[in-house]
Amino acid sequence: MPNTTNILVCGIGGQGVMTATEILSEAAIAEGHDVKKTEVAGMSQRGGVVTSHLRFGPKVLSPQIAPGTADVLLGFEAAEALRWAHYLKPGAMALVNDARLVPPVVELGLFKYPDDPIGDMRARGVKTVSFDAATIARDLGDLRLGNTVMLGAIADQLPFSAEVLLECIVKRFARKGE
């Protein structure tokens, strides 16, 4: 649908992928958007692959993002970002935490961890911005801020103000007493 924003969020269980998707959803709802999302979590609490599809706009019919239609990919883990990069539409951006967390599928021999996942994305023509969310969080004084750093990275890719996103972040973590 026209004016629908498609965001694919991916990472490893425990990184905050689902929490980040919830916060993005809350911000979109606060701005009056119709929101649909779906999440696939494999052992999401400890090291499994986690992927969320988030779609919002005036009227959204399905939560599923089709390959080649995502406006932005928010990758909490580099190899997972590479694995899902084909969901991006041409010219769309991938914002990727350059952390290398080896998922259990590698240990099981089901997936080979790439030598340079971010370099591979760029070689495929994916517009990729990478950064170390853990180092940024540590520099801010709290390693638990990693997913907040990721949300900050996507803020200027959203069709609403960063202030709305910040309000939703503050509300979410105030509920947890943090």
Domain with 146 in it: what CATH number?
3.40.920.10
Contact 4, 63 (CB under 8 A): no
pLDDT of residue 44: 47
Q: Is residue 79 within 8 Å of residue 114, measured between CB atoms?
A: yes
If one counts the domains in the chain, the total is: 1
Residue pair 94/86 in contact (Cβ under 8 Å)? The answer is no
pLDDT (0 to 100) of residue 152? 94
DSSP annotation string for 58-117: S----SPPPTT-EEEEEESSHHHHHHHGGGEEEEEEEEEE------HHHHTTSSPPPS-H
Q: Which residue range is the domain that position 34 belongs to?
A: 5-175
| Strand-strand pairing, 34-41 and 88-97 | unpaired
Give the contacts of 18 (CB within 8 A, at least 6 positions apart): 39, 41, 44, 50, 52
Length of the chain measured in residues: 178
pLDDT at residue 2 in the model? 65
pLDDT digits over 41-57, tens only? 765 456 678 999 999 99
CA 116 to CA 15: how far, in whole Å? 20
Task: List, for the chain, all residue ranges whose pLDDT scores fall below the cut of 70.
Answer: 1-2, 42-47, 175-178
Q: Which residue has the tokens 């606060």?
A: 30
Amino acid at 66: A
